[in-house]
């Protein structure tokens, strides 16, 4: 896949639409939750690779280990969000993540991924998103963001309800999947399994940069990512039925993208340099069914 140059700006029209979207998109709660209210350490619990500062956590990777954390609960719907600041400088081979994943993590799992793929100095970080349903993935989309995600914290959000899955960067939707399972046979939507929230930093030298040709340079370690925003607005397993219309993220205003969100989403597509729905060679012209449906 040929990479495009980094995008340091958005056209004024897209910026104006994104500003309008901000007024109609759910945002993280104002009162900051402490990390241990909703999350626990998954790995790297040695005081060096995961540093808990209360309302901020640093994940670090060196040659001995990476680190990760997960939510205490599994969820059946909700609005999930983390603020992230990615490792800077030479980060080839470094993968930094925020994702939802069902349990057990086997060949029938559901998964919704934000994966940030590092690169060499002067090359932009790639944001890869992917969605697995019943163990089937191969739905990658890759783009270069219109800002440097290593320069400051930004919001990364997943709205997941019985009607749609929307992934946001700040208040701009970058991926939308409608739930058309009742109308379209074979439509792939994660609606059957509850999911954990997870985040991690790890060595993806085998694939993340230049198809695996460019590896992690351990002389540049440690690579450190910051996380904030540990509130979780979601339906925990065993709570109110997670498809209840009384849950705010299942409300009528969150069952479709708005016109402003649709325009912002279309504007972001020009920064996407790989979309599985355009890869006819990969799928031998038998494209996944969702690629035939607009929002």
**Positions marked catalytic:** 111, 115
DSSP state of 259: H
Instruction: Give the torsion sign (CA, 44, 45, 46, 47).
Output: positive
Residue closest to 44 by CA, chosen among 223, 204, 206: 223
How many whole angstroms separate alpha carbon 190 and alpha carbon 160? Answer: 9
DSSP one-letter string for 69-111: EEESS-EEEEEEEEEEE---SS-TTEEEEEEEEESS-STT--E
- The Cα-based distances of 180 to 60, 162, 187, 257 in angstroms read 40, 10, 6, 14
Residue identified by tokens 């607009």 is 294
Sign of CA dihedral 64, 66, 69, 70: negative
Run of H or E residues at 127: strand 126-132
For helices 12-22 and 259-268, angle between their N-to-C axes, nearest 10 degrees: 140
- For CA atoms 25, 28, 31, 37, the dihedral sign is positive
User: How far apart, in Å, do the first and last CA atoms of the chain sit?
Assistant: 26
CB atoms within 10 A of CB 243: 14
Q: Tell the residue number behind the tokens 């460019």, with chain if given.
A: 214
Q: Is 185 helix (H, G, I), strand (E, B) or coil?
A: coil
State whether residue 220 is helix, strand or coil.
Answer: helix
């Amino acid at each position: 896949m040929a990479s495009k140059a980094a995008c340091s700006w958005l056209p004024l029209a897209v910026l104006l639409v994104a500003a309008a979207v901000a007024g109609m998109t759910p945002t993280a709660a104002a009162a900051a939750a402490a990390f241990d209210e909703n999350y626990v350490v998954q790995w790297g619990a040695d005081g060096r690779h995961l540093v808990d500062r209360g309302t901020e956590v640093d994940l670090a990777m060196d040659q001995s280990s990476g680190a990760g954390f997960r939510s205490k609960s599994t969820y059946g719907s909700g609005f999930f969000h983390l603020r992230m600041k990615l490792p800077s400088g030479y980060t080839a081979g470094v993968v930094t993540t925020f994702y939802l994943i069902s349990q057990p993590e086997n060949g029938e799992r559901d998964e919704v991924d934000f994966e940030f793929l590092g690169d060499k100095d002067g090359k932009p970080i790639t944001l890869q998103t992917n969605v697995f349903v019943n163990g089937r993935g191969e739905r990658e989309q890759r783009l270069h963001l219109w800002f440097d995600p290593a320069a400051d914290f930004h919001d990364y959000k997943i709205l997941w309800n019985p009607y749609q899955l929307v992934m946001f960067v700040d208040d701009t939707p970058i991926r939308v999947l409608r739930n058309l399972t009742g109308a379209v046979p074979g439509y792939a939507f994660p609606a059957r399994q509850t999911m954990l929230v997870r985040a991690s930093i790890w060595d993806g030298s085998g694939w993340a940069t230049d198809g695996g040709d460019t590896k992690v340079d351990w002389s540049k370690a440690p690579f450190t990512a910051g996380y904030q925003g540990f509130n979780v607005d979601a339906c925990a397993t065993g709570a109110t039925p997670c498809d209840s219309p009384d849950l705010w993220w299942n409300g009528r205003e969150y069952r479709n993208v708005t016109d402003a969100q649709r325009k912002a989403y279309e504007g972001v597509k020009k920064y996407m340099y790989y979309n599985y729905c355009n890869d006819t060679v990969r799928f031998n012209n038998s494209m996944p069914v969702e690629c035939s449906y607009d929002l």
